A and B are shown apart, each in its own frame.
Chain A
Amino acid sequence: ELKVEQNPLFLSMQEGKNYTIYCNYSTTSDRLYWYRQDPGKSLESLFVLLSNGAVKQEGRLMASLDTKARLSTLHITAAVHDLSATYFCAVDHTYNTDKLIFGTGTRLQVFP
């Protein structure tokens, strides 16, 4: 059974600080996704990582993928309040690459 775990589950950080969210998954997967979810809203796609060593950056967020370690990271640089949200990683199901298995989620709060 494919499992996807994130840590930390909850992160409270001060504006201007840096931090990394980790996503571990239990079996091989072709693609890894990062999503943002604001309260009461659906998912906003942040990154799709397609290969080992892939790194993508958008603004203060940078995502990377190590398929050998089955690990992805989402790095936050100089956090601002607008980044407060819940972040999910997700991987393709082993036998059906349209099905996603979501991580546990990381709830991020950025305070002044």
Chain B
Amino acid sequence: GAVVSQHPSRVICKSGTSVKIECRSLDFQATTMFWYRQFPKQSLMLMATSNEGSKATYEQGVEKDKFLINHASLTLSTLTVTSAHPEDSSFYICSARDHPGELFFGEGSRLTVL
């Protein structure tokens, strides 16, 4: 079946630096991908919709200047956490739907900001 891959799976960075997380659809094209954030022992919260070739659509309360999303190709979306701070530490998960309509989630990326 279709696979969505995320990289890196874990990243540790210093406060104030920027971190990029990649989300790839490995065997299908995805014009739309979604980014979720999950704090420990909490549910998944939708952050934004990544649209190939156009600007991302952010959910209310998500800072678009802090969480930069780029969807430059039909198989790749990136999430960049800019000037990361400890409160940005979280588990970030992307998803995409293939053409028959099945939804796939990436393996997740755990960000720890020191």
Contacts and interface: CB of A to CB of B under 8 A. Distances in A.
B46 A101 contact: yes
Nearest to B105: A43
A96 B49 contact: yes
A102 interface: yes
Nearest to B59: A99
A40 B43 contact: no
Contact of A100 (B32, B46, B107, B110): B46
A33 interface: yes
B71 interface: no
A98 B34 contact: yes
A98 B43 contact: no
B103 interface: yes
A35 to B, nearest CB: 8
A47 interface: no
A102 B43 contact: yes
A12 interface: no
Contacts of A42: 93, 105-108
Interface of B: 32, 34, 36, 41-46, 49, 93, 95, 97, 103, 105-108, 110
30 contacts: A33-B103, A41-B107, A41-B108, A42-B93, A42-B105, A42-B106, A42-B107, A42-B108, A43-B44, A43-B93, A43-B105, A45-B103, A45-B105, A88-B44, A90-B44, A96-B49, A98-B34, A98-B97, A98-B103, A99-B46, A100-B34, A100-B103, A101-B46, A102-B36, A102-B44, A102-B45, A103-B43, A104-B43, A105-B43, A107-B41
